[in-house]
Amino acid sequence: MAPKSDSAEGIVLSFVNEQNRPLNSQNVADALQKFNLKKAAIQKALDTLADSGRISFKEYGKQKIYLARQDQFGIPNSEELNQMKEQNAKLQEKLDEQKRAISEVEGEIKALQSNLTLEQIRTKEVDLRKKVEEMEGTLTKLRGGVTLVSPEERKVVEGMYVDIVSQWRRRKRMFKDVWDAITENSPKDIKEFKEELGIEYDEDVGVILQSFCDLMQHGKKRPRGQ
């Protein structure tokens, strides 16, 4: 008598036949967790099915391996095999098409997700309008001749500039004195020696101290209020 389809034996028999591959009791128990079957009940069902000849089994030491009976499956002839291969090839083509379609849809979704939402666009628009208003206000003041930097702030900045340029000039002179002393009696070519040590003059990188000194003089001669 065949087991009922909703009994433990019926569920296990259906699964083993569907899988049609070697299985142990743990494989079956893991796969049938959704049926709330305990491993002991599954083991009992497997043994009952094996004893009744509904499934095959082999023992490897203490472990039993269960397999669907192969005589219940029809063996296809060469023509049927060719038909199955053709069907498989067609299904594979459809699968590849579906994968390409899914890939295209995922690409479109990713592109859409990278775009700003309407709310984000509106927020960005508000921020940009605010910045434009601030810049227009500054531009209006400049056109009207308003001094945006107070005399006190200007004096502080000029003092910092003068101090930095003075330190630059002093260190440049100190280096020159030391360098002249080192290379005065050196047998090496000065240019090659400089490159060997990785030393660069200001002029080598397009910087001229005098141009910064001229800016200081220009600032001193600038009329007040400008």
d(CA 225, CA 217): 17
Q: What are the pLDDT digits (tens) for 116-130?
A: 788 888 999 999 999
Residue 110 CA to chain centroid, in angstroms?
A: 14
Q: What are the pLDDT digits (tens) for 161-193?
A: 889 989 988 998 998 898 888 888 888 888 888
What is the per-residue pLDDT for 225?
A: 43
d(CA 161, CA 20): 87
d(CA 131, CA 207): 36
CA atoms within 13 A on the CB side of 88: 6
Count Cβ atoms within 10 A of the Cβ of residue 97 and give its class: 0-12 exposed, 13-18 middle, 19 or more buried. exposed
d(CA 6, CA 35): 10
Q: What are the pLDDT digits (tens) for 192-212?
A: 888 888 888 888 888 888 888
d(CA 22, CA 70): 12
d(CA 44, CA 28): 12
Of the chain, the percentage scoring pLDDT greater than 90 comes to: 38
pLDDT at 221 over 70: no
Query: What 3-state class would DSSP assign to 150?
Result: coil
What is the per-residue pLDDT for 222?
A: 52
d(CA 54, CA 68): 8
> Stretch 66-86: mean pLDDT, rounded?
86
8-72: CATH topology: Arc Repressor Mutant, subunit A (1.10.10)
CA atoms within 13 A on the CB side of 156: 4
Residue 161 has φ and ψ, to the nearest 5°, of -65, -45
Alpha carbon distances (Å) from 164 to 93, 155, 199, 202, 210: 74, 14, 21, 15, 13
170 vs 213, more confident: 170
Indicate the domain borders of the chain. 8-72, 151-215
> Would the pTM of this model clear 0.85, i.e. be above it?
no
Q: What is the mean pLDDT of the chain?
A: 86
pLDDT at 97 over 80: yes
What is the per-residue pLDDT for 52?
A: 92
Instruction: Give long-range contacts, CB 8 A cutoff, 24+ apart: 145-148.
Output: 147/225
